[in-house]
Amino acid sequence: MDKRKVSTLFLDIKGGLDNMNPSPHCRMVNAKGVNPYLASWTLFFLTGRSCRLFFQGSPKIFSPVSMSNPQGSQVSRLLFVIYVSSLGVEIPFGHTLSYVEDFAQIALSVLYHCNIQLL
């Protein structure tokens, strides 16, 4: 009978897509050896954004947004996963699951205490 214990740490990066800084992301993309055209497109996609609020009596002017990754785009999710890829830590006999801003880090050992140390 297997007596190993399984422990899981769940993480949620609150507002991760909204607060993605383009500069570190582009450095990471370049460091991974991505095609320069694609790296340049990524920087263009993540910068130069603006927004405006619509409600009665509001001015209809655009305001610049310094950090933004549009949540409605599938590309945004992929770029965010690349952005946080360095957060994944290799755990012996463990596993990491992720979906955009939500992560589960799983550890497996003979003692819960060991799992806690690994996580």
Whether the pLDDT of residue 1 is over 60: the answer is: no
Return the SS3 of 57. coil
- Which residue shows structure tokens 């130069």? 48
The pLDDT score that the predictor gives to residue 54 is 81
What is the average pLDDT across 50-68?
Answer: 77
pTM assigned to the model: 0.62
The residue that leads in pLDDT, 81 or 10, is 10
Per-residue pLDDT reduced to its tens digit, 4-56: 899 999 988 887 777 777 778 788 888 888 888 888 888 888 887 777 878 88
Whose CA is closest to 108, among 24, 30, 3? 3
Describe the strand order of the beta sheet including 5-12 as a list of residue ranges: 5-12, 102-109, 95-99
